[in-house]
C-alpha cells in the first residue's frame, strides 16, 4: 500500500469502539469461578481479544477436559448479557466511524463476538448508517489471533488486504493483522499498554477513538503507511 490512501478501515469493536474489555474480564472470571477454575482477573484481562475457542485454551490449557467448555461459554454469555443495555461507546467512537466514511473510506466492523452480542455492540455504537459491512464469530472457524475474522471482512466487503488498515486494542488484533500484512493501529483504551501494542507491531498507537479522530488526517487511516523493521511505531498522545 506504500503511502497510498487506503480504501477502507476494518475495526475491532470490543475494547476498541465499545467499552467492554473489563466487563468481559469480570464475566469470564465469574464463569470460571463458578466452575472451580480460579484464574486471576489480570490473567484473564490479558487474554481478552481472543475468541472463546482460543481464550479457554490460553487460560486453562489445551489438555483440559473440554467437556465443560460449552457450559463455561454459556455462563460468560449470560453474565455479559446483563450489561447489554448499559454498554457505552468509547470516547469519539461513532464520530470516528463517521469521519472515516466522510473521507470516502469504507467502514467495516470485524468482531469476534457472537451474532447476538454483535447486535448489542452495534446498538451501543449507533452508527449503522455509515457501516458498510459487519462480520462476527458466525463467519469464521477460528478467532484471533488467527486472521479468519479479517479474511471474512475482506471477502464480504470486497476490499483488498493491501488497501485497508485495521484498528484494534489488543496484541491479538495486531497479530491477526500481521498474518495478512495489514497495518494495525492500536488503541490503548482496551487496557493494553502503548508499549505492548507497539512491541507487537502496531504501526501507530493512540489513546482512544477520540484521539485517533483528532489526528486522523496524519494517521495511517489517511496515509496508509506501513512500518518497516527500521521504523519506530508512532505513539500519538
Q: Express each pLDDT in 196-208 by its tens digit.
A: 999 999 999 999 9
Instruction: Return the pLDDT at 144.
Output: 84
Domain at 8-20+88-230: CATH architecture: 3-Layer(aba) Sandwich (3.40)
pTM of the model: 0.92
Residue 73, pLDDT above cutoff 70: yes
Identify the burial level of 101 via C-beta atoms within 10 angstroms of its C-beta, where 0-12 means exposed, 13-18 middle and 19 or more buried.
middle
pLDDT in tens, 113-123: 888 999 999 99
Angle at 17 between CA 71 and CA 48, to 5 degrees: 35
- Give me 46's grid cell: 490479558
Alpha carbons 97 and 106: distance in angstroms, whole number: 9
Amino acid at each position: 500500500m506504500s503511502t497510498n490512501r487506503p480504501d477502507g478501515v476494518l475495526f475491532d469493536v470490543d475494547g476498541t469502539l465499545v467499552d467492554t474489555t473489563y466487563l468481559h474480564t469480570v464475566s469470564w472470571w465469574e464463569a470460571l469461578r463458578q466452575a472451580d477454575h480460579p484464574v486471576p482477573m489480570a490473567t484473564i484481562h490479558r487474554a481478552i481479544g481472543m475468541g472463546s475457542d482460543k481464550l479457554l485454551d490460553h487460560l486453562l490449557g489445551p489438555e483440559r477436559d473440554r467437556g465443560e467448555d460449552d457450559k463455561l461459554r454459556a455462563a460468560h454469555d449470560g453474565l455479559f448479557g446483563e450489561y447489554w443495555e448499559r454498554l457505552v461507546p468509547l470516547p469519539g467512537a461513532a464520530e470516528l466511524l463517521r469521519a472515516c466514511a466522510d473521507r470516502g473510506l469504507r467502514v467495516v466492523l470485524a468482531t469476534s463476538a457472537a451474532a447476538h452480542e454483535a447486535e448489542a455492540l452495534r446498538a451501543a455504537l449507533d452508527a449503522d448508517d455509515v457501516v458498510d459491512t459487519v462480520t462476527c464469530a458466525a463467519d469464521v472457524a477460528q478467532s484471533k489471533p488467527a486472521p479468519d475474522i479479517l479474511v471474512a471482512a475482506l471477502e464480504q466487503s470486497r476490499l483488498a488486504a493491501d488497501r485497508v488498515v485495521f484498528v484494534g486494542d489488543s496484541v491479538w488484533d495486531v497479530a491477526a493483522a500481521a498474518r495478512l500484512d495489514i497495518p494495525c493501529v492500536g488503541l490503548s483504551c482496551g487496557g493494553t499498554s502503548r508499549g505492548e501494542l507497539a512491541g507487537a507491531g502496531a504501526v501507530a498507537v493512540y489513546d482512544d477513538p477520540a484521539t485517533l479522530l483528532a489526528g486522523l488526517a496524519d494517521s495511517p487511516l489517511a496515509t496508509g503507511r506501513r512500518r518497516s523493521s527500521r521504523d519506530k511505531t508512532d505513539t500519538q498522545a
